[in-house]
Chains A and B, each alone.
Chain A
Amino acid sequence: MKIGVKVMPRKEVLDTQGRAVENTLREHGQKLDRCTVGRYIVLDLPDADSEAAMARAKTMAETVLCNPLIETFELERL
């Protein structure tokens, strides 16, 4: 069972990379309000039960994949 973990910066002020990418896109003549850079992690879990897999993915996100001081995360079944 595959679960996607989307990790994003919690605040604009923490998204230094987003600001840089945004500027480059603007320099290329693109119009945009905001660009945010995060990361996407795919977990391939052996669990047959999807609820159990989600629960374990949540634990993994809370304990390792995401730092709650600076990031938020969302899970999705793939």
Chain B
Amino acid sequence: MKKKVLSSLICLSMCATMLFGCGNAASEQTTTQDQAPAAETTAAAETPAAEAAETTEATGEKVTLSIYTQYADDDTKVPYDYAVEQLAEAYPNVELNLIVQAQDDGQTLKTLAATGQLPDIYQASTDLINTFRSSNQIMVLNDVAESTGFLEKLYDANKDLAYAEDGNIYAFPFSGQEYVLWYYNKALFAEYNLEVPQTYDDLLNCINVFKENGIVPLALFGQEGWNTAAAFDVIATRYNAGGIKALDEGSASVTDQAYVDAANTMEQLVAAGLYQSDATTTNYDQASQMFLAGEAAMFINGQWYIEDATKALGENVDWMFYPAADAASYEAGKAAFSGGGSASGFAVNPDSPNAALAAEVAEFITEKYCEAKVMYRHNPLVALDTGKEPDSEYPAMMKKLSDTLPSITSTTKFTWGLTNSTFNDAIQSESQGLVSGQFSAAEFIENMADSMQ
């Protein structure tokens, strides 16, 4: 009996603490809501940034904006921290409540949207923009982009990234055009007297030599569908410069000879052992560490990897133009890259009590992200002309890319830039099937054609 008394006591006291805790949280919530109308009036005036800041300062009220964005590695932490620091000066009354983005295919954000809890500012991909557009949960930012000078700063090449299909701006992009680079370890190639492969025959030769010496030719992180899709795209673009973008838009069909050839080539390369045997269950860090540790000779990733690769391998790392079927198509293919920009960036919840202010802040943060990426991440491929210089020289690979940029005539898309979600799902899993070596090229073509019907 004694035990029961004790346990019920514990239970009671716990309930009390819980109630107390709940009460606190609830009152906090109401206070933020109380502030909301005031902030709205200040922000709704649509004054330029500085003025808006002054008015809020005059009223002396703090506004907390929730922001849903990535905050994990240097590439996401450095820009965010820089933006927050700058925000404190420009908008002293605005505080950000960071909600760290989960890597869950948008599950969290979609649930928050479905239940009306969307954060004030959130990082939206093409897929999310399209979904939220249909439910009016993403703010049209045309006017803000105009008044804040965002459009003037936007590089011409990136204009199409800002606008959605319907001609409106729904998100402020901070990344510019991005590219899939085929990285290779110069030291390993030199050690085994190998030339940088230009044709698939060269590549097959390299594969054999590396395999004989116990080195993985190319480390793929095939657990992530986008990497296998990119692995297919770097081959597909050699046959049809449009690559997976043309398929996504429907301007080409997967049954076209170009794609059949690409699938067959990929099948052949997989059979030869281009990728590690367990590529489809390898995650990014595993594959990356293999490449950086010299256990793998090549690696396929975006240009954002230049910084990390240079840090670890220094002079020994470079990127190559994608190999092609023959020398002629190799030369011709130098102008066609896989990858490209995507209409993703910071978007604003139109139902937020501080929507207008949030839109300005979102634009401000976007600018600061671009600045931080140029200055501290040595990545000039941002959406905006920041007028900033990096704090040290650009890495050699970035210089080489910058030199190549003017001659690039065609790009495709990363999977997160694709607009057809059925195609997106299909290409990610079917290309993974090809990489596994257990699905034939014929199966790939057939299944892709099936799913696109």
A binds B: no
Q: Which residues of A contact B (CB under 8 A)?
A: none
